[in-house]
Amino acid sequence: MKRLTTDDAISRKNIIDKIRDKALIINSPNDLNDFIEKIGDAKYVLLGEASHGTHEFYIWRAMISKKLIEEKGFSFIAVEGDWPDCYRLNRYVKSYEDTGKSAYDVVRNFNRWPTWMWANWEVIEFIEWLRKHNELRRKKNNPSVGFFGLDVYSLGESLEAIMTYLQKTDPLAFEKAKNATRCFEPYGYEGTDYARATRLVPKTCQNEVVDLLKAIRKKIQTYNTDPEMVFSTEQNALIAVNAENYYRTMIGGGPESWNIRDRHMFATLERLMEFHGTQAKAIIWEHNTHIGDARATSMAEEGMINVGELVSEKYRKEEVSKVGFGTYKGSVMAGRNWGDIMRIMHIPKAIENSWESLLHQAGNGRNLALSLESWKKDPVFNQQLLHRAIGVVYHPENERLDNYVPSIMPLRYDRFIHINETTALHPVHMLPDGHQIPETYPWGF
């Protein structure tokens, strides 16, 4: 590693001193009351995570979301998850018929890898809370708070949901759905297999999914079932179109498949906001690489955009609050390869002079909450330093090469929560050793 010069060392010391002066030390949810009060002035609150497998990120994010829903009237939560799976959770939290006896009944059927990302006890705890909260809201004739997925991966599941709905509703569109389904059938409805095949043979299913979307939109005004189910059917058709494009583009490499995915997630968020009306307010749960503004990171140099950038570009700064999360060390749930068994992995101490290392030093190992608005014009903070990012595939031994995104922190986020030492998520499905996770958590989570 490059040896620090005197000027570098002074700069790092200035950062640590200023963090100590400005940071809020947090130990429990009550320590964040003022912090959350300021967050809640926005209509788009984006809550991140530095990994997809960390217990503390999920429970602190849930705690913040509860307060925003109770005290600031937020309309729905939109997550980095598949639409069909999350829509079943949405129906459960709203107590629709035939949605399962418990949140556990719903999430244990989440079969797409990585299952632990949403099929975990932390999510179950929040979903059960949201269902009870919605029951109270309905007694006061207030609309229920929803839970939706933003992602584009669910090609097969979305086609299946469309077929189920259209079979009884729209025979003409149902034929289009059958055509699209037959087209993907040789690939087992797996996008990666489809992508590999189309690279070798120039036969695609693009026309079939576009024709399906057109057929649904032509007759959608005549569908007389509940409006949310109609919305969901159109959304699944949009997913089929964008998933086909995403997977076909992905095989060629480069940033465009990432950009297709994030544009889809942003467009889905916009559709949800329109569906919920002019007073709608959204909470978004996604990885830091999606919710932090890409323009403040090395992602921009690679031609990548993200949801945080798109939201920040379109809306006034007072309408958007982007909250990043990070950790200095701990453990995480991840796989060593795509489709691998879930593993609890060790997260080593953060690289020296990374943001996480500086936060660790500034807090003397304590958890910190930071409001970054006043930092944006401070040259001490306007430098691109390493910032940890762990995905569902993780190799701790290669972390120095693979798991840091150079970032200007106050330009990437509006606020940041540093949890100094974190632990792995608690999945619903059995761990490889057969161990079942307990259901109790701090603060009632």
Check pLDDT > 50 for residue 440. no
Residues 292 and 386 in one domain: yes
Residues 132 and 169 in one domain: no
CA distance 298 to 291: 15
> CB 94: neighbour CB atoms within 10 A?
20
Residues 101 and 189 in one domain: no
Structural domain contains residue 98: yes
Residues 201 and 334 in one domain: no
User: Reduced to 3 states, what is the DSSP secondary structure of residue 430?
Assistant: coil
Q: What is the pLDDT of residues 365-381, one digit of tens each?
A: 999 999 998 888 888 88
Sort 428 into a burial class: Cβ within 10 Å, 0-12 / 13-18 / 19+: buried
Residues 240 and 304 in one domain: no
Structural domain contains residue 235: yes
Q: Are 297 and 359 in contact (CB under 8 A)?
A: no
Give the helix ranges, DSSP H, for 251-396.
256-276, 288-291, 307-314, 355-363
Residues 133 and 259 in one domain: no
Residues 102 and 177 in one domain: no
Residues 137 and 161 in one domain: no
Range of the domain at 131: 6-149+281-444
Q: What is the pLDDT of residues 66-120, one digit of tens each?
A: 999 999 999 999 999 999 999 999 999 999 988 989 999 999 999 888 999 999 9
Give the helix ranges, DSSP H, for 277-354.
288-291, 307-314
Residues 163 and 145 in one domain: no
Could you say which of 215, 235, 266 is where a domain stops?
A: 266
Structural domain contains residue 79: yes
> 148: part of which helix (H) or strand (E)?
strand 146-149
Q: What's the structural domain count of the chain? A: 2
Residues 349 and 383 in one domain: yes
User: Reduced to 3 states, what is the DSSP secondary structure of residue 82?
Assistant: coil
Q: Are 306 and 289 in contact (CB under 8 A)?
A: yes
> CB 156: neighbour CB atoms within 10 A?
21
Structural domain contains residue 69: yes
> 57: part of which helix (H) or strand (E)?
helix 55-72
Q: Are 412 and 292 in contact (CB under 8 A)?
A: yes
Q: Are 334 and 409 in contact (CB under 8 A)?
A: no
**pTM, to two decimals:** 0.93
Q: Are 86 and 147 in contact (CB under 8 A)?
A: yes
Could you say which of 234, 266, 298 is where a domain stops?
A: 266
Q: Among residues 115, 116, 51, which one has the least CA distance to residue 399?
A: 51
Structural domain contains residue 272: no
> CB 305: neighbour CB atoms within 10 A?
19
CA distance 248 to 201: 12
CA distance 426 to 119: 9
Instruction: Report the CATH number at residue 48.
Output: 3.40.1660.10
> 389: part of which helix (H) or strand (E)?
none
Check pLDDT > 60 for residue 445. no
Structural domain contains residue 228: yes
Structural domain contains residue 237: yes
Q: What is the pLDDT of residues 292-341, one digit of tens each?
A: 999 999 999 999 999 999 999 999 999 999 999 999 999 999 999 998 99
Residues 142 and 233 in one domain: no
Q: What is the pLDDT of residues 122-174, one digit of tens each?
A: 999 999 999 999 999 999 999 999 999 999 999 999 999 999 999 989 999 99
Could you say which of 235, 266, 297 is where a domain stops?
A: 266
Residues 239 and 290 in one domain: no
Confidence of residue 29 (pLDDT cuts 50, 70, 90): confident
Structural domain contains residue 384: yes
